[in-house]
Amino acid sequence: MARRSWLILSYRANIDGSACSQHIDDRLPYLEARGITPVLLTGPVGGRFQRWPHYRSWSIAPSGIRFELRHALRKRLVKHWQFKLAETLLLLPVFPFYLLEKMIINLESEWSWFFGAVIRGFLLCRRYRPELLYSTGGTAAAHVAAGLLCRLTGLPWLAETQDPLVHDQGWRRGRRVLALYRWLEKWICLHADRFIFLARAARDNMAARSGMFCLGTVVYPGADPAMFQKDLYEKGEQCHFAHLGTLNGTRNLVIFLKALRLLLDNGRIPADIVRIDIYGSLDGGSRKAVEDLGLANLLSNHGVLARKEALRAMQRSDCLLLIQNTIFFSTETIPSKVYEYMLSGRPILGLVHHNEELREMLEEGGHFPVPADDIEAVADGVERIVASFAASSLAPRASASTWTVERAVGELVAIAEAVRSGRRGLNTGSSAP
């Protein structure tokens, strides 16, 4: 029996390449180093940790069954025809109920995970006697499960949302779902001991939206310096701009490519000095823009890399591309790869969409934030970087980022200690510190 433990509820964990998973995965060793055994309760889509107690629960709604079964089949069946055949045979009985569910209410696929998580979580609380509950990740069901367990067990509860539960603009799931998520947001404010956010704007917008100025706080997740190697960068003949991660929607290369075309057409940069490396997915809009603008010979699509390989690719690049969606959602979120970019030591060209918090971060690190929807501003940024590269003055940025995983865990543990101390003070009739 562990002397100290936390019950951590996160639908995703131990999934290479998943930002939601990496968020909690990176913190586990640092929690352990502080004498806290993490007891994980997750969904079935990730592998099981062997180092820490790790338990899994499954969704019970048709959408959840479909999502989890498809994920399991993808891991086991490499050939596409095998996957489609097995998917059709196994999910055919579920399909009518799946359609009915979506007609009634169009929630995220994992919404029903909380039913099983509450039952299993209650049994885990009796077994491990955790000192608190910590719900995190991009799935709202984790917070529902933790909130119900908080009511059942009386344990302190830290709720951490990686993305805002409610988007003030551009909501696409209908009025009933919007009302439900707004209610959930207020419910977390009322019952969680601390509501933790990854950006100031997300916290402030939630408070203004709900009128609930709860005990909200901001913890920047950071990245782990131990994941990076030293002296990987070597300057070559061309200036390589690298984008790592997913491109889709309005987060695409179109504005960057148009800015590059503008520079080449006006002779503002030497011809054929720029190369673009894509590590991850390349969306259809970007593919079309590459062809239409005649830049196909400048772009290399390397596909999806494992995390360690992706980090090495960052460090070998001349400049890293950070691109935000040009939607309101981007104003209150900071992409998780920002922290890895900063620790890589390479300059960052950030196409930022009305996000002062992110712009300030980049400027403080000596990077190049520009408006994401302004072709001329992006062109100016590219021109500055290429000129510095040509003059061999594109200096590496300090890789000792202020925001590390170790610091984030330290802040999280301090919050937990303050909550527990406050509860002890209330129980003894004294005032909380």
Residue 145 tokens read as 């499960």
Cβ atoms of residues 135 and 104 within 8 Å: no
For the chain, give every domain's residue range.
Answer: 5-59+110-222+405-428, 226-390
The per-residue pLDDT for 393 is 84
Percent of the chain surpassing pLDDT 90: 80
Cβ atoms of residues 241 and 273 within 8 Å: no
Tell me which residue has tokens 């899994």: 56
| 275-300 pLDDT, tens digit each | 999 999 999 999 999 999 999 999 99
Tell me which residue has tokens 């239409």: 292
- Quick count: other Cβ atoms within 10 Å of Cβ 291? 10
- Between CA 139 and CA 23 the distance in angstroms is 13
The per-residue pLDDT for 422 is 85
Q: Which of 78-92, 161-175, 376-390, 405-419 has the lowest mean pLDDT?
A: 161-175
The per-residue pLDDT for 244 is 96
Sheet containing strand 368-371, edge to edge, reads 299-303, 274-280, 239-245, 319-323, 348-352, 368-371
Homologous superfamily of 5-59+110-222+405-428 in CATH?
A: Glycogen Phosphorylase B; (3.40.50.2000)
Mean pLDDT within 26-51:
96
Cβ atoms of residues 332 and 205 within 8 Å: yes
Q: Which residue has the higher pLDDT, 210 or 46?
A: 46
Question: Residue 297 burial (CB < 10 Å; 0-12/13-18/19+)?
Answer: exposed
* Torsion (CA) 262, 324, 241, 397 in degrees, nearest 10: 120
- Between CA 140 and CA 148 the distance in angstroms is 13
Question: Residue 401 burial (CB < 10 Å; 0-12/13-18/19+)?
Answer: buried
**DSSP character at residue 228:** P
What SS3 string covers 154-186?
CCCEEEEECCCCCCCCCCCCCHHHHHHHHHHHH
Would the pLDDT of 27 be above 80?
yes
- Between CA 237 and CA 239 the distance in angstroms is 7
Q: Which residue has the higher pLDDT, 135 or 77?
A: 135
- Quick count: other Cβ atoms within 10 Å of Cβ 5? 23
| 342-363 pLDDT, tens digit each | 999 999 999 999 999 999 999 9
Mean pLDDT within 319-324:
97
The per-residue pLDDT for 426 is 57
Phi-psi region of 211 (alpha: psi -120 to 50; beta: other; left: phi over 0): left
The per-residue pLDDT for 428 is 44
Mean pLDDT within 4-28:
93
| 85-96 pLDDT, tens digit each | 998 999 999 999
Tell me which residue has tokens 């959602």: 329
CATH tag for 226-390 (out of 3.40.50.2000, 3.40.50.10320, 3.30.420.40, 3.40.50.620): 3.40.50.2000
The per-residue pLDDT for 427 is 54
Would the pLDDT of 203 be above 50?
yes
Query: Do the domains 226-390 and 5-59+110-222+405-428 match in fold?
Result: yes
**What pTM was estimated for this model as a whole?**
0.92
Q: Which of 60-69, 308-317, 393-402 has the lowest mean pLDDT?
A: 393-402
Going through 37-143 in order, the beta strands assigned E by DSSP cover 37-42, 54-56, 132-135
Sign of CA dihedral 192, 197, 200, 202: negative
Mean pLDDT within 40-46:
96
Per-residue exposure over 7-21, b if at least 16 CB sit within 10 Å of its own CB, e if not? bbbbbbbbbeebbbb
Cβ atoms of residues 242 and 349 within 8 Å: no
- Between CA 365 and CA 344 the distance in angstroms is 12
The per-residue pLDDT for 210 is 83
